[in-house]
Each structure stands twice: as structure tokens, then as C-alpha cells.
Amino acid sequence: MTTGVPSGPGAAPRAGRIVLVTGPSGAGRSTALAALEDLGCETIDNIPLRLVPRLLDGPTLDRPVVLCIDVRNRDFSVSGLLELVDWLGSGGAGPGAAVELLYLDARPDVLQRRYSETRRRHPLAPAETAQIGIERELDLLAPVRARADLLIDTSALTPHDLKAELARWFDPEGGQKMAVMLHSFSYKRGMPRGIDMVFDCRFLDNPYWDESLRGLDGRDARVADYIARDDRYAPFFEKVNDIVCFLLPAYAAEGKSYLSLGFGCTGGQHRSVAMAAALAAALEDAGWKVAVRHHELEHKGRVTDLRSSGARR
């Protein structure tokens, strides 16, 4: 493969936490790298994919390593980046290493405004308008966005807001070292990558069969109330909340940086979304750092800001 990722036995990199940062040009990668460096991470910008294994090989690293990879890289390709993520996540980063893909996103109109303000040329359209380059890049990076472990939409964030958001997730000196990522998804499309624990919600009453609720999703109070009327919902939620709250301190004590939990249902629109939102609210009330990704809603273009859970009713 073009990235130079080892395909056979050899010395494995040794790092405790590796964060790959990517996203469209203008979404805030430079601000993010500066913020993560201030938080004590070792940051490297614009590194060729083929050099990543060599960079990580060597003595154990005592702080998180943040690598910014984007379309400016001379050997960049979406397939190469995803192969690198798979290789690192399957043991290429060494035993016990945590590998995370951080995707910084922004709406096309915001990206275009930012380019207009800076008057810079877009790397994918050096002789054309920034709008053309933005459209090309967003289309190119769509598979990478879908694979992200953490997605931050910077459209409404100032640089200060972005730094604060990153501190929630990556501050190695913070009082709580572990964050929780909740995913809702459709079993029809398959389980998202990297989930540590999955809860199947398909046994709950399905709002899809109520025509007045079919077009809504689990963030709507009417849908959540419909699901909650199922006699099995309350004990199910209580048991899930109990086991998660029992496990989180144990995983944090073990040094795990984040835990990824998934809720699946048939369509990924009602039951799994409602459960993920409700658990997010409960965990936030308990003081945990929580983010939510509703994969099916995102696929349908119905989620614009994935930093917030939509959990409050």
C-alpha cells in the first residue's frame, strides 16, 4: 500500500494515546493542534502517511501523540488514511495503545466565509474558486468523516470555544481523565467502528409503526415518551445506567482515556437515538464528559452539531 504501513512482523510502535486529526481545510485544524500542544500533547502537522509507523516506532511515549493528516500531504489518500487507522487500531500502535480519529468539521457556507476572510487559495482548487475546492474536499473526506471516533463541528465555535471543547476531551491534567462517546446506529447499515460495548434496543416498542411519529426521531419528546411507555423501557434503562456507572470509574482507574458505547435498533432513528440521548443526560448529570453521535440521523443530514447530545427533554 502507498502509506508504507507494515504488513508483516516487525517492531511495533509504542505509544499510549495516538490522535489522528483531519477534516476539511478551514475547519480549525491549526487552532486544534495549538490547543492540544498547550494541553501537553506532542503534535506534528502535515506528516506523510508513510512516515507515521517510523515516527511512532521506538521508546514508549509518555504523552499523547497528535498527528495532523490532510489533503496537503503529498501522499494523502482516503484509502491510505483509513488503512493506517485500521493498522494502528488492530495492534500496529502497540499493546494497550488508544487510537482515535478526530474529525474537525464545518458547514460549507462557514468554510467559504472563512476562506473569503483570509483570501487564501484552497489546496484542491488553487486556480479556481474556494467554493469548488470546498465541495471537492467535503466529498473526498466523506468516508473519513463517517469513521471518526470524535467529530467536532466548529461552525459556531470561536477559537476559544474550540480550545475549551478540546480540553474537555484531551486535558491530561484534568480531574477526570476519561470521556464517554455514545453512538446510535441502524443494524441495517452495520455497527460503527471502535465501539467497546453495544446495547440492542430492538425489543422495545417501535415508534415507526405510529404514523404520527414515523418522520420524527428519538430526540423528539413525543418519540421518547412513546418508547418510555413500554413497560420494559424503565428497567432496561436503569440496568444499562447502573452497569455503565459501575464500569466507568473502573475503566478510568485503569487509565482508559475514553469509552465508546453503542445503541442499535432496526432503523437507527427512534429507539437507539432515544436511549443514547437519555443515557447522555444521566451521565452528564453524574459529572462525566459525554458526546453523542447519531449515525443514521447524520447519514440523513438531520444532525448539524454533534458536540451536543440532544439529550435534554
Annotated binding site for GTP: 70-73
Dist CA 225 CA 125 (whole Å)? 49
Q: Which of 34, 192, 8 is nearest to 104 (CA)?
A: 34
Q: Which residues are annotated as a binding site for ATP?
A: 23-30
- Phi/psi at 160 (nearest 5 deg)? -65, -40
Q: Which of 188, 220, 201 is nearest to 272 (CA)?
A: 201
The sign of the CA dihedral 88, 90, 95, 101 is: positive
Name 186's bridge partners. Answer: 265
Dist CA 89 CA 209 (whole Å)? 39
Instruction: State CA 57 to chain mean position distance.
Output: 25
Strands 17-22 and 42-45, by their bridges, are: unpaired
CB of 75 closer than 8 Å to CB of 29: no
Q: Which residues are annotated as a binding site?
A: 23-30, 70-73
Three-state DSSP at 252 gives helix
List strand residue ranges (DSSP E) for the chain, in order. Answer: 17-22, 42-45, 65-68, 98-105, 150-153, 179-186, 197-200, 258-265, 289-294
